[in-house]
Amino acid sequence: MANIILLGPPGAGKGTQAKRLVEERGMVQLSTGDMLREAKTSGTEMGRRVAEVMDRGDLVTDEIVIGLIEEKITGNAGGGFIFDGFPRTLPQADALGALLARTGQTLDAVIEMQVDDAALVARITGRFTCGQCGEVYHDSTRPTKVPGTCDVCGSTNLKRRADDTEEALKQRLMEYYKKTSPLIGYYYAKGGLSAVDGLAEMDDVGAAIAKVLDRRK
Ligand code: AP5
């Protein structure tokens, strides 16, 4: 069992690789982005405020996301937790360390997915997901086998995210460089940071992540 963080800018492939690890290793994906998108549709005042922030490409407050993770981290971790999109700030990283320590768990690897910013626009603007099962696709690099139908669950409810525009992506990248990229140095100093080439083919990225996880056994 291993608890890991997938760290990288928007479109680096965190969600894609997290889903593979869930299938291949029985790990549990904790995506704060998915949790917040669920909150957006809750019809509550908090959901409305979260939607405004996310659609602009800004970060939601530390307090909200730490609360979301705190609720999940005590549950069954199966093959380990994959923190996808969390932590994103230094206070969130400190909070995760404290939460893991309090629940008697460890952080076993932090995997930085390195990508070239220029590739991200094409990745983000071509992305669509299944509204039913959450499978992630791309217009050119990973289209569905039957147009308009999810390969995994057969749903025709395929959606694009409100923040997957070039304008919102610029803001998301700005937030990443200002607030999230310092975590690379933070985890390097703590130990346990590994980097993989996020621009490689999806299977090769998966193999590189598997190598990092198997090295620790
Ligand atoms: P979140 O949902 O976490 O989005 P993100 O970090 O911007 O990351 P993405 O989901 O856009 O990209 P990804 O790396 O998962 O890439 P994917 O695998 O889909 O956060 C959204 C918002 O929520 C934030 O902006 C913020 O407002 C809020 N939020 C979330 N967490 C927060 C936190 N902790 N604190 C504060 N606010 C928070 O891949 C992208 C595309 O590329 C896909 O189409 C895929 O098919 C394709 N692709 C993937 N890998 C490859 C490959 N190797 N080759 C070719 N194509 C590929």
CA 57 to chain centre: 15
Angle at 212 between CA 173 and CA 17, to 5 degrees: 50
12-61 pLDDT tens trace: 999 999 999 999 999 999 999 999 999 988 888 889 999 999 999 999 99
DSSP 177-212: IIIITHHHHHHHHHS-EEEEETTS-HHHHHHHHHHH
205 lines ligand 1 (CB under 6 A): yes
Contact partners, residue 183, CB within 8 Å, separation at least 6: 7, 87, 88, 89, 90, 93, 110
Question: What does each C-alpha distance from 96 to 39, 91, 92, 130 come to in angstroms?
Answer: 21, 9, 6, 29
CA–CA distance, 194 with 169 (Å, rounded to integer): 25
Angle at 13 between CA 135 and CA 148, to 5 degrees: 30
Is 172 known to be catalytic? Answer: yes
pLDDT at 76: 64
The residue annotated as part of the active site, out of 14, 19, 20, 123, is: 14
* Closest Cα to atom 1 of ligand 1: 33
CA–CA distance, 95 with 69 (Å, rounded to integer): 10
74 pLDDT above the threshold of 80: no
Atom of ligand 1 nearest to the CA of 36: 23
Cβ neighbours, 10 Å, residue 32 = 22
Percent of the chain with pLDDT strictly greater than 90: 84
Q: Which of 154, 205, 150 is nearest to 21 (CA)?
A: 205
89-143 pLDDT tens trace: 999 999 999 999 998 899 999 999 999 998 999 999 999 999 999 899 999 999 9
